Amino acid sequence: MTKKTAYLFPGQGAQYAGIGGDLHEKFAVVRDTYAEAGEALGYDIAELCFRGDAAEINRTRHTQPALLTHSVACMRAFAESRPDMSPALAAGHSLGEYTALVAAESLDFSAALKLVKTRGELMGEYGRGEMEALMLDAGAARELAAMHCCAISACNLPQQTVVGGRAEDLDALLADMAARHPRKRSVRLKTEGAFHTFYMVEAAVKFRETLAAAKFAPPKCAVLSNFSGDFHDAEPAAIRSRLFLQLFNPVLWHDNLLRIKEAGAELLVEFGGGIGGGESPAEKRPNLEAMAKKVCGGAEYLPVINVGTLEAAGASG
Confidence (pLDDT) at 315: 86
Residue 286 pLDDT level (bands cut at 50, 70, 90): very high
Q: Which of 24, 62, 93, 94 is catalytic?
A: 94
Residues 6+ apart with CB under 8 A from 183: none
225 is annotated as an active-site residue: no
Model pLDDT for residues 16-62, shown as the tens digit of each residue: 999 999 999 999 999 999 999 999 999 999 999 999 888 899 999 99
Strands 151-157 and 130-134: unpaired
Residues 6+ apart with CB under 8 A from 109: 33, 36, 37, 40, 72, 102
CA-based nearest residue to 271, from 52, 44, 98: 98
Confidence (pLDDT) at 201: 97
Beta strand spans in 71-157 (E): 89-92, 130-134, 151-157
CA of residue 308 relative to chain centroid, distance: 22
Residue range 181-204: average pLDDT?
94
- Phi-psi bin for 273: left (phi > 0), alpha (psi -120 to 50), beta? left
Confidence (pLDDT) at 297: 87
Model pLDDT for residues 230-274, shown as the tens digit of each residue: 999 999 999 999 999 999 999 999 999 999 999 999 999 999 999
CA angle 41, 124, 39 (to 5 degrees): 5
Model pLDDT for residues 127-150, shown as the tens digit of each residue: 899 999 999 999 999 999 999 999
Q: Which residues of 114-132 are buried (b: 16+ CB within 10 A; e: fewer)?
A: bbbbbbbbbbbebbbbbbb
Q: pLDDT at residue 87 above 80?
A: yes
Model pLDDT for residues 210-224, shown as the tens digit of each residue: 999 999 999 999 999
Mean model confidence pLDDT for the chain: 96
Query: Whole-prediction pTM value?
Result: 0.96
C-beta separation of 104 from 90 below 8 A: yes
Q: Which of 93, 148, 196, 254 is catalytic?
A: 196
Residue range 293-302: average pLDDT?
94
- Specify the 3-state DSSP secondary structure of 92: strand
What are the structural domains of the chain? Answer: 5-126+198-315 (3.40.366.10), 130-189 (3.30.70.250)
Confidence (pLDDT) at 254: 98
Amino acid sitting at position 271: F
CA-based nearest residue to 251, from 135, 103, 138: 138
